[in-house]
Amino acid sequence: MPFNGLGLSESIVKAIQELGFTKPTPVQEKTIPLILKGKDIIASAQTGTGKTAAFGLPTLDRLKPGKRIQCLILEPTRELAQQVEEALQDYSKHMDTRVGVVYGGVKYGRQRQMLEKGVDILVATPGRLIDYISQGVISLKKVEVLILDEVDRMLDMGFLPDVSRLIKMCPENRQTLFFSATLPAAIQTMMKWVLKDPEVIEIGRNHVAATTVTHAFYPVAEQQKYNLLIELLTRTHFESVLIFTRTKVNADLISRRLERLNHSVATLHSDRSQGERTAALKGFKSGKFEVLVATDIAARGLDIAGVTHVINYDVPLNAEDYVHRIGRTGRAEKEGDAFTLVTEAEVKNAKSIEHYIGQKIDRTKLEGFDYMYSALFDAEEKQAQRKASSRMYGRLRR
């Protein structure tokens, strides 16, 4: 089905065609007609499947510009807030609707001016939004559409109290939309008091990793992790690579080392100033930096076009975070590779990832790399032998 079969107005269809979207993604096809009808929705679909346009397009379509906050979109991180605002600016470029964004970590001046001028749609992170409300700069009394994006992440980050407060400040008579990559139990509890008779749309299984990504585990001894990373970087033809570390300290360390090897590197984690975070992301998106080293703050929802490789320097503790990390590549049906370095201490977490995504990930040895002995290889070897002999045994029995 083409976009103009969904009931969207011409000015929006034109804008999205200019963006090169030819047909709606599954989550868009299911949710757009319902949202246009004013239904409450709870939608889950894997990361990178176009949820922003799924809620953004029909909402833009329904609002009549009036310079009061008619639509509030809550986002868990500053980067996501920026990204969603930019997308809405693109979608609405042939309309008079005004879109604004507020988030913490930057000065109040410009945001306050924008709010005083008036916006129709406000994208916000919870903390800074509450600031403006308590200062009396804005109110949520005219909100007709309330959108909670990346709800699972919002709950993970402990935003439930703030978000609940904000929901209660919106009029009861409103449309409410929940969008999320997964639907953990906590969302279901919230659904009951926040949404009215919602339609639940679930696209795909909850846990699946993007199908356009190839995965590989690289077993390695702890002391050789860094050298293996460098080898991987040297040998792989990547256009842009995102490296995830578990800690901020490791992120800084790797960035500095890569810089010394003349890679163009940016770093993204929560101890960096907002200015630095924005510059890192912008530079990485524009191609100024070929490598971005980040902690999990960058893992959820960020849409970075053309990430060809994700390298997990550390195995994430949460299997779910793995899905989000590698979701930064292979977006919008492009291909991507995800490499994960696995030390002995991390084997358990690596296995729980395989269990979570329901897929075995190949253990890979980098040809010609001068591996130190690691007990991990014995374990893998034994496992392979056991498997081979049980296959034999099976055959003999038959």
Q: Which stretch binds ligand ADP (CB under 6 A): 41-49, 155-163, 220-228, 267-275?
A: 41-49
* R_g of the chain, CA atoms, integer Å: 23
Residue with smallest beta-carbon separation from Mg ion: 301
Rounding to the nearest 10 degrees, give the CA dihedral for residues 159, 165, 170, 175: 40
Choose among 321, 314, 275: nearest CA to 298: 321
Is residue 174 within the footprint of ligand ADP (CB under 6 A)?
no
Binds 70: which of Mg ion, ligand ADP, none (CB < 5-8 Å by kind): none
Give the nearer residue to Mg ion in terms of CB position, either 47 or 295: 47
Is residue 51 within the footprint of Mg ion (CB under 5 A)?
yes
Q: How far apart, in whole angstroms, are the C-alpha atoms of residue 309 and residue 222?
A: 22
Binds 24: which of ligand ADP, Mg ion, none (CB < 5-8 Å by kind): ligand ADP
In angstroms, what CA-CA distances link 97 with 67, 121, 133, 239? 8, 8, 22, 36
Is residue 336 within the footprint of ligand ADP (CB under 6 A)?
no
Contact predicate 62/145, CB 8 Å? yes
Among positions 48, 76, 126, 198, the unique one binding ligand ADP when judged by CB under 6 A: 48
Q: Which stretch binds Mg ion (CB under 5 A): 19-27, 49-57, 213-221, 348-356?
A: 49-57
Give the nearer residue to Mg ion in terms of CB position, either 146 or 228: 146
Among positions 61, 85, 290, 303, the unique one binding ligand ADP when judged by CB under 6 A: 303
Alpha-carbon dihedral sign for residues 152, 247, 128, 111: negative
Q: How far apart, in whole angstroms, are the C-alpha atoms of residue 217 and residue 359?
A: 12
Give the nearer residue to ligand ADP in terms of CB position, either 44 or 111: 44
Binds 53: which of Mg ion, ligand ADP, none (CB < 5-8 Å by kind): ligand ADP
In angstroms, what CA-CA distances link 98 with 25, 110, 216, 292? 26, 15, 45, 32
Among positions 31, 44, 49, 329, the unique one binding ligand ADP when judged by CB under 6 A: 49
Extended strands (E) in 105-144? 121-124
Q: Which stretch binds ligand ADP (CB under 6 A): 46-54, 138-146, 269-277, 382-390?
A: 46-54
Kindly give the residue spans of alpha helices, DSSP state H, lying in 334-374. Answer: 347-357
Binds 144: which of Mg ion, ligand ADP, none (CB < 5-8 Å by kind): none
**What are 336's strand-pairing partners?**
213
Q: How far apart, in whole angstroms, are the C-alpha atoms of residue 207 and residue 219?
A: 24
Binds 219: which of ligand ADP, Mg ion, none (CB < 5-8 Å by kind): none
Among positions 6, 42, 50, 138, the unique one binding ligand ADP when judged by CB under 6 A: 50
Output the six-digit token pair for 112. 């306050």
Q: How far apart, in whole angstroms, are the C-alpha atoms of residue 77 and residue 187?
A: 18
Interface residues toward Mg ion, by CB under 5 A? 51, 301
Interface residues toward ligand ADP, by CB under 6 A? 21, 24-25, 28, 45, 47-53, 301, 303, 331-332
